[in-house]
Amino acid sequence: MSSDTVAIKIDNVSKKFTLQYHRTLKQVAVAAAKGHKVRDTFLALDDVSFEVKQGEAIGLMGLNGSGKSTLLKLVQGVMRPDSGTVRTRGRIAGLIATGAGFHPQLSGRENIYLNAAVFGMSEAETRRKLDSIIDFADIGKHIDSEVGHYSSGMGARLGFAIAIHVDSDIFLADEVLAVGDKPFRQKCMAKIDEIRTSGRTLFYVSHSAASVARMCDRVIVLENGRMGFDGEPEAGIKYLHYDDGDDDPGNDESAMGADI
Amino acid sequence: MTPDYASLPLVDPAGESGLVAVARKRYLLRLLVGRELNARYSGSFLGLLWSYFNPLTQLFIYWFVMGKVMGLGHRTEHFAIHVFVGLIGVHFFNETFNASTRSIVRNKAFVKKMALPLEMFPVSSVVVSLFNSAPAVLILSVVCLFAGWTPDWVGMASFLLAVAIMITVATGFGLIFSVANVLFRDIGQLVGILTNFVRFSVPMMYPFSKIAENFPNHIDTYLANPLANVILLMQRAFWVGTTSDPETVLHEDFPHHLMEHGLIALATGLVILVIGQVVFSQLVNKVPERV
Ligand SMILES: Nc1ncnc2c1ncn2[C@@H]1O[C@H](COP(=O)(O)OP(=O)(O)OP(=O)(O)O)[C@@H](O)[C@H]1O
Ligand SMILES: [Mg+2]
């Protein structure tokens, strides 16, 4: 499905995080006086470069803490790299690490408007799609209660429902389905398939080899913030040794749902 | 999917930032402001009525305690109005300062996951405070009308100038302290202490003539504070018109060249605003990961 148009261009991107050991001025002063370390930095992303063509479905894999969510946050524009450049084409929508950017004290409905506005939807567009979003999230009367009281699955349902209703060109999905129940996961998989076949660019983060093999036509593996592998899905999964363990969900449809 | 996708430019996904970007995303700003106002009034029994009740009781307390009990009102005509005018300005500034300082931290769920110009949060605090001050200004106008005030053009201009100074100063401080509060959580406490000084640094509980009388050599220092100018301009707009001899009051209780001082204060406010934006832009990159 991919064309020649570049959708995402990542050049020598590094992202450094500061580990802050002390938070208040007093703690910082005391630690500094005692000669303790006040902060430490490490590279969550280290000189990462690659290009994604329009319509490609990228599976982003790697162990916990390897920098996948960080990379997606750079692509979404939530964070900026410390060095290197990130360039994207068109509208971006998606869900990064379980739980969307919701305001816990607001109702689900109010959060729909806010979230949609950040994704660039106008008031009229949101109003037009409101019923469809609520329908897809399917969380019943909770839509009018505080999001802070939602179960994690309910939050993910609403976040995903909003994200798929954005007319985006690039869709980011970071373990969005990890907390959804089975019927919802199936609904989501169908939706992601639809996104894929419509020529939109997909960035899919998952620890499930089976779902990546099914959904993606290219796999990128991050290892401690560095690019470890970039190529065919099968080879990438093999590279990560996600293909051998006997507790792996395997390839059958029902088990695959277990940890999409 | 956007038709004609290939013709779209490759851009930085973080998009544009700064106050300019906020001005361009007015719909989002409106949502944030509306949400704040709703949260404040919708859950309560009397709703919006509270925002009238609160300033009214304050007006009464100042009139009674300071005017009648402490007898501070002898020299200053309509002392309660004099205090109330100051109170509105001081309250606006303190409320904005506190709210905008916490604005980014309070919205951290949002800040961590969503790409938007973060100036949005301190700016929306300022707008919310403007709305919250409207009832008090309305009450003030009604009280002044009863006290014999007739609105005049110079007064109106003074008031608008006061509002403009206030907005620039409050936004500038809001920008600086909202990011600072993310990086150092002590800032919130510091702001609480700073706001205690504000009410004494403006002609509210004393007339300006006291400063001229007791510190004749430091009038310029006093007037370097943009907030002192804001309150003076507001006194010019409302209180002066309620006194029996406005000419004398204008001469005694105001600095000469009030408007010029006001314009200088506005320039100071703009400088604070520019500094605020520069500091904000310098520090904002670390905010989403630290908040
Ligand atoms: N705001 C932050 N401040 C400091 N360190 C951070 C921050 N966010 C992430 N990190 C660190 O950066 C590294 C990469 O984190 P990231 O969330 O990108 O991992 P991931 O690949 O998504 O992992 P997972 O599979 O568990 O989701 C981790 O070591 C994490 O602790
Ligand atoms: Mg992650």
| A39 CB neighbour count, 10 Å cutoff | 11
In a domain, B40, yes or no: no
User: How far, in Å, are A58, A70, A98, A207, A216 from residue A61 at the CA level?
Assistant: 9, 12, 16, 6, 11
B16, closest residue in chain A (CA to CA): A77
pLDDT in tens, A153-174: 898 899 999 999 999 999 999 8
Output the residue whose Cα is nearest ligand 1's atom 31: A65
Lowest mean pLDDT across A251-260, B258-267, B273-282: A251-260
Comparing CA positions, the residue from A217, A195, A14 lying closest to residue A91 is A195
Using DSSP, state whether B155 is helix, strand or coil: helix
Query: Which residues of B fall within a CB distance of 8 Å from A74?
Result: 13
Nearest atom (ligand 1) to Cα of B288: 1
Q: How confident is the model over B63-120, as pLDDT tens digits?
A: 788 777 877 767 788 888 999 999 999 999 999 999 999 999 999 888 988 889 999 9
pLDDT at A246 over 70: no
Q: What is the DSSP string of B264-280?
A: HHHHHHHHHHHHHHHHH
**Which pLDDT belongs to residue A153?**
87
Cβ-defined contact of A101 to B114 (cutoff 8 Å): yes
Q: Which domain holds residue B103?
A: 13-34+47-290
- On whether residue A115 sits in a domain, the answer given is no
Question: CA-CA distance, B260 to B278, in Å (whole number)?
Answer: 27
By the 8 A CB rule, do B101 and B187 touch? yes
The dihedral sign for the CA sequence B137, B206, B173, B195: negative
How many domains would you assign to chain A? 1
If one compares A245 and B146, the residue with the highest pLDDT of the two is B146
On whether residue B7 sits in a domain, the answer given is no
Centre of ligand 1 from the C-alpha of residue A209, in Å: 21
In a domain? residue B107:
yes
Give the CATH number for residue A49.
3.40.50.300
Residue with the bigger pLDDT between A96 and A78: it is A78
Banded pLDDT at A2 (limits 50, 70, 90): low
| Range(s) of the domain holding residue A173 | 6-90+169-244
Report the percentage of chain B scoring pLDDT > 90.
68
Q: Let me know if residue B29 belongs to a domain.
A: yes
Domains in chain B: how many in total?
1
In a domain, A132, yes or no: no
Residue B239 falls within a domain, yes or no?
Answer: yes
- List the one residue out of A73, A6, A63, A45 whose CA is nearest residue A242: A63
In this prediction the pTM is 0.90
* Residue B258, token pair as written in the block: 């009030």
Contact call for B27 and A123, based on CB within 8 A: yes
Residue B41 placed within a domain: no
A19 phi/psi in degrees, rounded to 5: -90, 110
Per residue in B136-154, pLDDT (tens digit) is 999 999 999 999 999 999 9
Is there a domain that residue B76 lies in?
Answer: yes
Residue A203 and residue A56 in contact, taking contact as beta carbons nearer than 8 Å: no
Q: Is A67 in the pocket of ligand 1 (CB under 6 A)?
A: yes
